[in-house]
Amino acid sequence: MSLFSRLLPTPLNSLTLLFVWLMLNNTFSLGHIVLGSVLAIVIPLLCVSLRVPQHTVKRPLKTISYALLVLKDIVVANIEVALLVVGPINKINPGFVAVPLDVTGTFPITVLASSVTMTPGTVSADISKDEKWLYVHVLNMPEDEQEVIALIKHRYESRIKEIFGC
């Protein structure tokens, strides 16, 4: 391991810390640059032992299309939920569904659970201890809960598997 990588184990985080320090202090004086640089080196060094290895993004360009897909789903679901809430109360049919997980790793599962939660009308309620099931609350459960499972697996999970290669 080189001296540079030992001194700056996470260079992007260090650069971000320096930038945030300077923006919070609203100055680019030499004293703040030096103090911010020291903090940008020391804080990541103190935190490097706390890092947990995570899946890395294997196909970064796919993240753009995934983000756009989730954004579109958020807009469409907002309209659907608004119409559902404004309409008669007896049309709402809430329920829970257990979605079997094919993705592995804490970060990819978190991305999936967050995507489900960000989409109005669904909330990720829990993940099983063995990380094999994602429990989702659905505001308007269809007759066949397999529709919800298939939608989550096809629309989100398959893309996340592709992005992270898991």
Give the pLDDT of residue 1.
Answer: 60
Give the pLDDT of residue 6.
Answer: 73
Give the pLDDT of residue 93.
Answer: 86
> Does residue 14 belong to any structural domain of this protein?
yes
Range of the domain at 109: 60-164
Give the pLDDT of residue 48.
Answer: 81
- Number of folded domains that form the chain: 2
Q: How far apart are CA 100 and CA 79, in angstroms?
A: 28
User: Looking at the structure, do residues 95 and 149 belong to the same domain, yes or no?
Assistant: yes
Give the pLDDT of residue 135.
Answer: 97
User: Looking at the structure, do residues 93 and 30 belong to the same domain, yes or no?
Assistant: no
Low-confidence ranges of the chain (pLDDT < 50): none
Half-sphere exposure of 90 (CA within 13 A, CB side): 0
Q: Return the structure tokens found at 13.
A: 């985080």
User: Looking at the structure, do residues 46 and 105 belong to the same domain, yes or no?
Assistant: no
pTM value > 0.85: no
